[in-house]
Amino acid sequence: MGRIEEITPFMVMEVLERAKELEREGRDIVHIEIGEPDLPPPPRVLETLRNLDGKPLGYTDSFGLWELREAIARHYWETYRVEISPERVIVTTGTSGGFSLIFSALFEVGEGIVFTDPGYPCYKNFARVYCLKPVAAPIGKESDYELTPDILDGLKESFKGFLVTSPSNPVGNVYKRETLKALVEYAHQKGKIFISDEIYHGLNYSAPVHTALEFGDEVIVVNGFSKYFCMPGFRLGWVIVPQRFTRPLKLVAQNLFISPPAVSQLAALGALEDKDYLKKVRQTIKARRDYLYNELQKLFDIPVEPQGAFYIWADVGRYGTSGYRFSIKLLEEAGVATAPGVDFGKNNTQTFVRFSYTSRLERLKEGVERLKEFLNRL
């Protein structure tokens, strides 16, 4: 089987496509499936876009505008009290562009990279595109859905690096400080590449978030503007790497992407400055989380409190069905779109469904009412 044949479908996108089909047929669909914020971008972003007349919008440096790299470095000092050089900041075309740079420049064909199971499904497919070997690390309630050095040591397959996401997708847990610190130390001791996906930073509600950079420079951090900054369509992310990795990533960035989009970079400068609006984003999404978590706890088994991101990981097994059948039936019969748990791995995911609270509160309430009626009919 070739590498492209090994790429698995992104089920939540297929659910979304089916939901859109039903909407074109006149159905009203409540979207609780996709991790896309429905809030507008910060006002300063829109102000920047209105004032673009006359500004050059050509290629930038392949690592991005220096002013934006400086602003991102300043963000780490202001948010985490971590000092980094802007030279280590690489602006990318979305976080997907960041992963493309990392996997192509720092790994060789056939080398292993560890992803958690359950975890974001596109990671393993990124790896397969670049002819790397995805290695699944099972995580569950016994480890608070955190990857740990003990779990890594227990893996039978060899690997060059490992990746974690905090706050996580699909579970919504936030990694504890001591776990992140232990993973940084493990990577240093074992000579592994540690990648920390921090795309949901800022969206934490009941636990503090820590960047892996707090515990050392020999770590790769990936983040972007799609989630907390409510700018998914701008396709802009960033990567922070150890100084020794900047040259190989530069070579790939120059050839693969030339440069990140100039308009998005200018807009992002405004987003980083709009701190009052970002506080409102967190408050709004926290209110949605509080409502949906309270309601779903009455209906399903939820193994871990959703402390961040947009997601609630719920076990629907008590209703005698798989998560996949549950999601399809709920969409077709009740008009509520959710993400089947099997989209996120094979480790005890068969009876799980991921709920996302990226819709307005009134739509979430409508979705819960439909869900209750649906369950009463099972």
CATH number assigned to the domain comprising residue 360: 3.90.1150.10
Same domain, 355 and 261: no
Instruction: Assess whether 313 and 235 both reside in one domain.
Output: no
pLDDT in tens, 318-377: 998 899 999 999 999 999 999 999 999 999 999 999 999 999 999 999 999 999 999 999
Neighbours of 262 (CB within 10 A): 17
**Helical H runs in the chain?**
11-24, 43-50, 66-80, 94-106, 122-129, 149-153, 177-190, 246-256, 262-273, 275-297, 323-334, 361-377
Q: Note the pLDDT of residue 1.
A: 61
Interval 158-165 mean pLDDT? 98
In this structure, the answer to whether residues 61 and 175 fall within a common structural domain is: yes
What total number of domains does the chain contain? 2
372 CB neighbour count, 10 Å cutoff = 13
**Two structure tokens written together for 245:** 């990795």
161 and 70 belong to one structural domain: yes
Residues across the chain: 378
Amino acid 85: pLDDT: 97
pLDDT at 9 over 80: no
Contact 86, 69 (CB under 8 A): yes
Asked, as a colleague might, if the bond just before 118 is cis with ω within 30 of 0, I would say yes
Burial class of residue 205, CB neighbours in 10 A (0-12, 13-18, 19+):
buried
One domain, residues 281 and 345: yes
- What pLDDT, in 10s, does the model give residues 17-56? 999 999 999 999 999 998 899 999 999 999 999 988 777 7
Model's pTM, two decimal places? 0.95
How far is it, in rounded angstroms, from Cα 34 to Cα 16? 7
